[in-house]
A and B are shown apart, each in its own frame.
Chain A
Amino acid sequence: MIVRISGEDQYRLADSDAVRLNELENEVVAIVESGQEDGFADVYRTLLDYVRAQGTRVGDDEIETSEVILPPSDLTFAEAGREFTGEGLIPD
């Protein structure tokens, strides 16, 4: 599967990586929903680092659609919160 980190690159990951990716993403969502910023940056960084470490970067000359698109690495806690209420990085 192909995962894009917005504003960065696309990475090709094994389908089996989806489980861990999903866990990490759910952790991020749980923190955002709790409204407590503590740990947000660390967990979010762990998620992106996992993608970078497990994946192989998709070449600039390849045209691929991503199965997963993650927000940019400099996503703030406030932005992450808005992401779920419809006023995210890309407006509806």
Chain B
Amino acid sequence: MAGLTGRMSTVVKAKVSKLLDRAEDPAETLDYSYQKQVEQLQNVKKGIADVVTAKKRLQMQETTLKQSVVKLDTQARQALSSGQEDLARTALERKNVAQTELQGLDTQVTELEDQQQKLTDSEKKLRAKIESFRTKKEVIKAQYSAAEAQVRISEAATGVGEQMADVGLAMQRAVDKTENMKARADAVSELEAAGTFDDITALGSGEDDIDKQLKELSSSSAVDDDLAKMRAEIGAGDGGGAPAGEIAAPSETAQTPPAEGQS
């Protein structure tokens, strides 16, 4: 190659060539690798489906968290208007944590969506390449038996071999990617499930991880701000203001024992 001494491409090319040198029976190798390609494509498709499932699970958790945020906000108002400021503060702290988690989830879902789109695109491209490989291999196999064309064909066969190796590599990477994404989504999902909080009535006597997190947050100005804002709103709303509509039975709700499904 005229002046091209790039080490990177040389190394990559040397490796691809080495792969091809191993082929003993070209016809058999071509058929076999076509089979492998078709199988791998199935794996890519399955991988994408897994990613979609994982994404849906995260989206469901998003919905739950959003409901929690609304619920905790309502509970904070109820607690505050019934004079239970500590309870209101706890609810707001939880709301704050839920909102932060929600942002994190949102980033994850967006990222998954983006990656899913890329993978779907490359799956389409790979499918087209495999189809063209299928046609090509038949041509090569037919030519291969004609001894006089041997030299020309071995070059052509190398070209096909190179493409075959490349499709294989691309599919392996696609499969690896779907596995990574699924693993990451699953990890986030588990983390969320473990830290799910429903509402303040579910507060137990023992101190769990969330409580510890909340304590760290309790000095946070965000909660103070929320509290102040809420206090002002409730104050302004006194005497038949808007928030009254959201508060069905303030003191009662705040002291309701844990309902079923809450731990």
Q: Chain A: residues with CB nearer than 8 A to chain B?
A: 1, 3-4, 6-7, 15, 18-19, 21-22, 25-26, 28-29, 32, 60-61, 63-72, 74, 80, 83-84, 88-90, 92
- Identity of the chain B residue whose Cβ is nearest the Cβ of A44 in the assembled complex: B8
Residue pair A26, B165 in contact (C-beta under 8 Å): no
**Given A18-B4, A63-B136, A69-B162: A83 and B11 within 8 A (CB)?**
yes
Residue pair A63, B3 in contact (C-beta under 8 Å): no
Q: Inside 8 A of B163's CB, which chain A residues have their CB? A: 63
Residue pair A65, B129 in contact (C-beta under 8 Å): no
Residue pair A18, B2 in contact (C-beta under 8 Å): yes
**Given A60-B128, A90-B165: A6 and B6 within 8 A (CB)?**
no
CA A7 – CA B53 in complex, angstroms? 26
Residue pair A19, B3 in contact (C-beta under 8 Å): yes
- Identity of the chain B residue whose Cβ is nearest the Cβ of A16 in the assembled complex: B2
Q: Inside 8 A of A65's CB, which chain B residues have their CB? A: 155, 158-159, 162
In the complex, what's the smallest C-beta–C-beta distance from B20 to chain A, in angstroms?
A: 10
In the complex, what's the smallest C-beta–C-beta distance from B159 to chain A, in angstroms?
A: 4
Number of A-B contacts (CB under 8 A): 99
Q: Chain B: residues with CB nearer than 8 A to chain A?
A: 1-9, 11-13, 15-16, 18-19, 122, 128-129, 132, 136, 140, 155-156, 158-160, 162-163, 165-166, 169-170, 173
Residue pair A21, B4 in contact (C-beta under 8 Å): yes
A63: contacting residue among B129, B159, B166, CB under 8 A: B159
Q: Inside 8 A of A84's CB, which chain B residues have their CB? A: 7-8, 11
A-B CB contact pairs (8 Å), 23 listed = A3-B9, A6-B170, A7-B122, A7-B169, A7-B170, A25-B8, A29-B8, A60-B128, A60-B129, A63-B160, A65-B159, A68-B9, A69-B9, A69-B12, A69-B16, A70-B8, A70-B12, A71-B8, A71-B12, A72-B170, A74-B173, A88-B15, A90-B16
Q: Inside 8 A of A89's CB, which chain B residues have their CB? A: 12, 15, 169
Interface of B is mostly: helix
Q: Inside 8 A of A21's CB, which chain B residues have their CB? A: 4, 6
**Given A65-B158, A69-B16, A83-B8: A90 and B3 within 8 A (CB)?**
no
CA A74 – CA B160 in complex, angstroms? 23
Residue pair B12, A83 in contact (C-beta under 8 Å): yes
In the complex, what's the smallest C-beta–C-beta distance from A33 to chain B, in angstroms?
A: 9
Residue pair A22, B132 in contact (C-beta under 8 Å): no
**Given A60-B129, A84-B11: A15 and B2 within 8 A (CB)?**
yes
Q: Inside 8 A of A6's CB, which chain B residues have their CB? A: 12, 166, 169-170
CA A90 – CA B20 in complex, angstroms? 12
In the complex, what's the smallest C-beta–C-beta distance from A65 to chain B, in angstroms?
A: 5
**Given A28-B8, A63-B160, A90-B15: A1 and B132 within 8 A (CB)?**
no
Residue pair B2, A80 in contact (C-beta under 8 Å): no
**Given A4-B162, A63-B160, A69-B162: A26 and B16 within 8 A (CB)?**
no
CA A75 – CA B155 in complex, angstroms? 28
**Given A65-B159, A68-B1: A7 and B11 within 8 A (CB)?**
no
